[in-house]
Structure 1
């Protein structure tokens, strides 16, 4: 018998509306976090969701203290790890991926362009630029269109680790030929020619080829123990906060800037166990002097996972003499001389230093003036 009573119809309609209101939050997608836009008309464009560089993450908010595991980052990291594990074969020689982590203009792009010249088949460039920074596009071709979608970063905060992982993931997804991943800042400059760097990373025997990409190449990352600041840095999140994943005897410190072999880049983007500890915010009283998670996470992870596979030193020279508030010495134009380049290259390890920081913007002119006669003359 058909339902015709107005009262029954009204009750059915009311029940339907009630069910819709109850289920609506479950059926609707969650609101998307706001994306911080870069200021200035010349700021680098941010790739849209699903656009830009292959594997670039979509924009999203970052907490003021510490970084959460946001869904878009997790998707990016999982995809990078899975595609890398699939082992897509790359044509041509192995490449060096240069990962620039910046919150200001890429002042030294002209110097890097001269460094890259003639080696287009052997390198790639990726830039993670803080969305809050008003950056002007580098006027050189190697940096155009190489910006990955970025999120805010802050000193003494795990957001710097997250940004480095985004760069690694984007580079892994973008080109299977990327065999080394060099993390640099906008204040870094090269100390040798590209050919000298390439020969150091890929020894000529066996020749650079597909076979070279499958060798167990070492990663160049500083791994230090027994440093006087280690106890306070380990306890920066509170007594016992790093346990049980990171006991004190396994905690390491080192330089923020590294050159990782591909297998270690995959390890970093895949790893979550230690990341849960290092992403936790530091105690307020430790934030200024002991909280440098970007100097702790990578050396601790790699030393725990593959201690024999890392060289335990970095290829990037930093001068900590007279450091102020955790910042290294910053070279000014008057200090740029051939003698300085020689001093910065010197190393007690297998390879000389290939890069150096921290240089002020006014150093560009003096560095370009000696680029061909000193820096790139090996």
Structure 2
């Protein structure tokens, strides 16, 4: 067999085929590198685009927020101006928790002189389960005295008031929680009312009322009586019997000693100083919450005892709210349509003697010891409206 001798053309073909295979391997490698490079550049560009988008979006939000604030500031003549702090909202609603509310309400200005014309107001605080059946009588009481009073209503959380927009009670319902007679939740409701009223820096006197309360005098008399008093009006009796000291628990020590234990009506009228003392209290509250359980009836003891310890010389030691306990029992007498007569109302207005600013006064024609009275049933409204102009001085 004759061996095959490669020709020059054969060698060229071989070399071309060999070179083509090498180039085929080199080409995909370069392409892969280019693809990876483009991919990395694309990822970087994408990340940079996201950064720019977020940056400018955030700047836009800041500009929008700043413009909104400036708009509000223009409307309020300077944003957080003095008006922001001294003018209360038209509605008593807010989103604060009790903890936040009590903290906010405890603020006290350290400069005694007000940098604005302050007209002191009376805060009327209604503690009720729901409706105010005697509201028409109160509407007549308030008529003509706008700017001298504020109204706050604490109801069951589920109750939705239906006052008309023209009513003085419209929008005055505060955020509330369930309160039970004789329980600490009742004192919580009263502190909640005080705290809401303290948010208005012009409120100087705080009157606790129920849905069964009525005013016994016209507004100007009530305002003058409260504004001229040097004392807060809250009952504070040292009762040695089973319903007084008999409810004391030794575990109250050392914050409360038995000789400091007091009893009084829950229907109080206090000034701003004492209202702040009540809402800021963290000394006595835990003791009463833990150790004044039924049948202690904490609402009869907590505020009288605390204020007696904190401000013993600032209390008139009586309530301005008349009530009749003469029938006995756990609850005072209630009065309906047939009870409300001219003689009945005159008996409340004239039959008592009392001390006012340490001056004991009494004459045969008139004695002013009470500004309010309870418990009046819804059926008492008609005779009260009829007798009000002559006997109560309004209507």
TM-score by length of 1: 0.72
Deviations 1:349-372 (A, max 9, x none): 224200001111111111111111
Deviations 1:225-283 (A, max 9, x none): 13522133224xxxx23222111110101010111011101111111110111122655
Match of 1:159 in 2: 185
User: How many pairs are equivalent?
Assistant: 291
Match of 1:222 in 2: 235
Deviations 1:142-200 (A, max 9, x none): 11001110011011101111111111111111x21111000111111011111111111
Is the deviation greater in 335-344 or in 260-269?
Answer: 335-344
Is the deviation greater in 368-377 or in 149-158?
Answer: 368-377
Mapped contact 2:138–2:215 kept (Cα < 8 A) = yes
Q: Determine the C-alpha separation between the residues in 1 that align with 2:204 and 2:347.
A: 29
Mapped contact 1:56–1:166 kept (Cα < 8 A) = no
Q: Determine the C-alpha separation between the residues in 2 that align with 1:261 and 1:255.
A: 17
Match of 1:137 in 2: 162
Deviation at 1:57, TM superposition (A): 6.0
Greater Rg, structure 1 or structure 2? 2
Helix, strand or coil at the partner of 1:327: coil
Mapped contact 2:128–2:155 kept (Cα < 8 A) = yes
Helix, strand or coil at the partner of 2:188: helix
Deviations 1:18-40 (A, max 9, x none): xxxxxxxxxxxxxxxxxxxxxxx
Q: Determine the C-alpha separation between the residues in 2 that align with 1:245 and 1:270.
A: 16
Q: 1:85 to 1:256 in 2, by over 3 A?
A: farther
Matched, 1:109 2:135: yes
Greater helix content:
2
Match of 1:74 in 2: 99
Mapped contact 1:84–1:172 kept (Cα < 8 A) = no
Query: Which runs of 5 or more residues in structure 2 are unaligned?
Result: 1-88, 357-367
Residue 252 (structure 1) aligned to one of 262, 267, 278: 262
Deviation at 1:348, TM superposition (A): 2.5
Match of 1:303 in 2: 308
Q: 1:302 to 1:54 in 2, by over 3 A?
A: same
Match of 1:261 in 2: 271
Equivalent residues in 2 for 1:1-378 (5 A)? 53=91, 56=94, 58=96, 72-83=97-108, 89=115, 91-132=117-158, 134=159, 136-139=161-164, 141-173=167-199, 175-203=200-228, 217-228=230-241, 229-235=243-249, 240-280=250-290, 282=292, 287=294, 290-324=295-329, 326-345=330-349, 346-349=351-354, 350=356, 351-376=368-393
Q: 1:377 to 1:102 in 2, by over 3 A?
A: closer
Query: Which runs of 5 or more residues in structure 1 are unaligned?
Result: 1-50, 59-71, 204-215
Q: 1:84 to 1:221 in 2, by over 3 A?
A: farther
Deviation at 1:80, TM superposition (A): 0.9
Q: Determine the C-alpha separation between the residues in 1 that align with 2:277 and 2:189.
A: 16
Helix, strand or coil at the partner of 1:82: coil
Q: 1:377 to 1:131 in 2, by over 3 A?
A: closer
Give the aligned CA root-mean-square deviation in angstroms.
2.3
Helix, strand or coil at the partner of 1:277: helix
Q: 1:293 to 1:95 in 2, by over 3 A?
A: same
Deviations 1:66-88 (A, max 9, x none): xxxxxx32221111112556766
Q: Determine the C-alpha separation between the residues in 2 that align with 1:113 and 1:276.
A: 39
Deviation at 1:56, TM superposition (A): 4.5
Deviation at 1:342, TM superposition (A): 2.0
Q: 1:92 to 1:273 in 2, by over 3 A?
A: closer
Q: 1:56 to 1:86 in 2, by over 3 A?
A: farther
Q: 1:372 to 1:156 in 2, by over 3 A?
A: same
- Which structure ranks higher in relative contact order (CA pairs < 8 Å, sequence separation ≥ 6)? 1
Q: Determine the C-alpha separation between the residues in 2 that align with 1:96 and 1:54.
A: 16
TM-score by length of 2: 0.69
